[in-house]
Structure 1
Amino acid sequence: MSWPIAIVFIVLIVAVGKVLAAKYRAQAGIIEDKQGNQHWVGKGGDPEAQREIENLRERIKVLERIATEGNSLDARETKRIAAEIEALRDKQAD
């Protein structure tokens, strides 16, 4: 084996290693910024942010229900939806 072929193989092995390392870091939730610093952004990293996301998801569900029910709401239904929205606001304040 000549030395140019050996160099090509070495470069190929290093490139494949870097690609695999990046793949495994991404699966673990680790990203790298432009300066090469690694940051963990995996699931469950910030419990306060996760709680806020869950509250927002609940609010979106209520808003979707309001949007899909249309204009044919009676007074009881309107009060029920308003109570649900208020309950979500109270839940967020806790």
Structure 2
Amino acid sequence: MQWGGPDFVLVIVGICTGGWVLNTWIRARHGYALEDEWGGKTERADHAAAARLAEENAQLRARLEALENRTASLETIVTDTGYTTAAQIESLRAPLQKAASQ
């Protein structure tokens, strides 16, 4: 093979093309934006899906936080001493109501 011959030029072109293909494959595999022929960036196709999932995740987190606050307030009501006192009073009234209805 001669240094200035067509075989050498084809080998150089093949090495450059193989390097470009390998670089593009690695970038695609690891989630980086791909470059086109003119150096422009091409975002991944699932970018819209990721944005949709992020929005849904934020909505679900807000809903979960609201439910946690509601559960905490219900736990406070149930464990409040006034609630247990009211339940005890109602349990004392139950036999009186049964006797009155008979």
- TM-score w.r.t. structure 2 length? 0.39
Which structure has the bigger radius of gyration?
A: 2
- Relative CO higher for 1 or 2, CA cutoff 8 Å, sep ≥ 6? 1
- TM-score w.r.t. structure 1 length? 0.41
